[in-house]
Amino acid sequence: MLKIHDKFNKELPADSKTENSRRQVTNACFSFVTPKKTAKARLIHYSPEMLGELGLAEEDVKSNSFLNVFTGNEVLPNTKPYAMCYGGHQFGNWAGQLGDGRAINLGEVKHNNTNWALQLKGAGETPYSRTADGLAVLRSSIREYLCSEAMYHLGVPTTRALTLSLSGDRVLRDVMYDGNPDYEKGAIVCRVAPSFLRFGSYEIFAAREDIETLKTLVDYTIKHHYPYLGKPSKETYIEFLKEVGRKNLDMVMHWQRVGFVHGVMNTDNMSILGLTIDYGPYGWLEGYEHGWTPNITDSAHKRYRYGTQPQIVLWNHFKLVNALYPLINDVAPLEHMLKAFQDELGNAQLSMMKSKLGLFEVDENDSQLVQELETVLQGSQTDMTLFFRNLANLEKEGAVDHLSTIEEAFYNPNEIIDRLEEEWKNWFSKYQERLKKEPLGDAERKTAMNEINPKYVLRNYMAQLAIDAADRGDYEPIDEFYRLLKRPYDEQYENEKWFAKRPDWARDKVGCSMLSCSS
């Protein structure tokens, strides 16, 4: 049995209207809603780890009630589901009220002294659905379900997922926004996090000059999620902003480390807890390219490309700082904080890249060594995951041909060796010299690097394989990838085939390298 422990919908102001019509909701943090009944729900997968975290047992999964609750067909006793109100900056511009257009919170659960909010994504309309239907398709639900759990096992702060279910309803979507809509299978993911509050949850009240609700929400957030910061005060609010900034900086450094590109880093998709949230048209770097984004909706400006993600976190954080300004009314400490974050960003980026190279000591030329590597990597169409994983095999003293250690990572090895052999050799000789200044021996360094550089990630084409199979009614690949990605840093000899470059067929395929926000 779930131990319900609701706080959000008990302590914060609710929308006074309860009918489910689309509207602007003011002076409230959420609206009560009831999930939509589905035609023929079916559970496709669940996360045993998440089940345990919530205090549920494998036995519970078999009950009808489990299926009904996590597909919105049954409301848990003593709960009142709700959709959250928030706004956001989308692609650099203030977009006004957004809110949970197709996410419905079931309630909060307490287990082992941890609080979890349970949320169904794709469970029907809410007052925030604007012009859309409140539903989600199987394709995007598989992507969110698999990726959020995979990120967790990679050690990246993230929201989690408990279940993936079919709704049994059909959902109309125009995948490429090119006037070719088609019906797809509807699905519902139950996702889980200590809180789904976003930067946009605060921005909406600042934009509406509703300082009272803004303060209520900030105080609530500190009380429950940052209790160690102490009682509300100007100083506490500044510390709160620092903590949120730090957490998000830490999160984005993990993204850069594993090669994850979020794709839609709007402020409504930035968690107040520094969790990766709202898995939409995300992607994984195949070729190491700072300019890559999976999101075709953003292909003109590439605002949310791999290389800009850390700066975008700071941009978003600046928007949050602005939103909380009315509670602080003092520019100097905030300017000081923002400046400190800029400096911290540079340091964090360097130490993250150094750790991927197995360099843990300080050396004044490290920044240049990293820069030179990035230049030659980007010129070489090099698979990021293969490169860093194989790099760990290099020997400090060895006189072997280093290129052969990492050659497998090149998408066009012959062409690269013809064109860039000198550059690569130069870099390797500097790297090898630098390694000699590290106390770790080859074997120890390899172990350390292999805990930082994953062997298995949810490559874009892998998610698409799982989706294509599921469309045919075969849900086995979802389970295969789920199990594979539980141990992303381990050698898994039976799964070596997933430690491979993107196959040619997937290079320009929709869903593999090009994704839209349609979901």
Residues annotated as catalytic are 268
Chain position whose Cβ is nearest to ligand AMP: 101
Residue whose CB is less far from ligand AMP, 222 or 264: 264
| Least Å from the CB of residue 201 to ligand AMP | 11
**Rounded CA separation 455/438 (Å):** 24
Q: By C-beta, is 143 or 242 nearer to Mg ion? A: 143
Question: Which residue from 193, 255, 175, 252 is spatially nearest to 457, judged by alpha carbons?
Answer: 255
Q: Which of 21, 199, 14, 24 is nearest to 94 (CA)?
A: 199
Letter string b/e over residues 132-150, b meaning 16 or more CB atoms within 10 A of that residue's CB: ebbbbbbbbbbbbbbbbbb
* 41/161 with CB nearer Mg ion: 161
Residue from 6, 149, 243, 278 touching Mg ion (CB under 5 A): that is 278
Rounded distance between C-alpha atoms, residue 174 and residue 293, angstroms: 20
Q: Evaluate whether 125 touches 134 at the Cβ level (below 8 Å).
A: yes
Percent composition of the chain: helix, strand, coil (DSSP 3-state, to 5): 45, 15, 40
Residue 406's binding partner among ligand AMP, Mg ion, none (Cβ under 5 to 8 angstroms by kind) is none
CA-based nearest residue to 43, from 211, 161, 126: 161
Q: 35 vs 46, 54, 76, 101, CA distance in Å? A: 20, 21, 12, 12
Is residue 269 at the binding interface for Mg ion, with CB under 5 A as the rule? Answer: yes
Q: Which is nearer to ligand AMP, 98 or 506 (CB)?
A: 98
Binding site for ligand AMP (CB under 6 A): 98-102, 128-129, 132-135, 264, 268-269, 278, 280, 517
Torsion 221-225-228-229 (CA) sign: negative
- Taking CA atoms, 269 is separated from 165, 312, 313, in Å, by 23, 12, 11
In the DSSP assignment, the letter for residue 298 is G
What's the rounded Cα separation, in Å, for the pair 125 and 136?
11
Binding-site residue total for Mg ion (CB under 5 A)?
A: 2
Secondary structure (DSSP) of 255-279: HHHHTEE-S---GGG-BTT--B---
Rounded least distance, CB 129 to ligand AMP, Å? 4
Task: Answer for the pair 149, 484: CB distance below 8 angstroms, yes or no.
Answer: no
267, 95 contact by CB (below 8 A): no
Closest CA to 240 of 253, 227, 254: 227
Report the residue number, 99 or 294, with the smaller CB distance to ligand AMP.
99
Report the residue number, 99 or 511, with the smaller CB distance to ligand AMP: 99
Radius of gyration of the chain (CA): 24
Residue number with CB closer to Mg ion (43 or 95): 95
**135, 103 Cβ separation under 8 angstroms:** no
Cβ of residue 300: shortest distance to ligand AMP, in angstroms? 17
Which residues in this chain contact Mg ion in the complex, by CB under 5 A? 269, 278
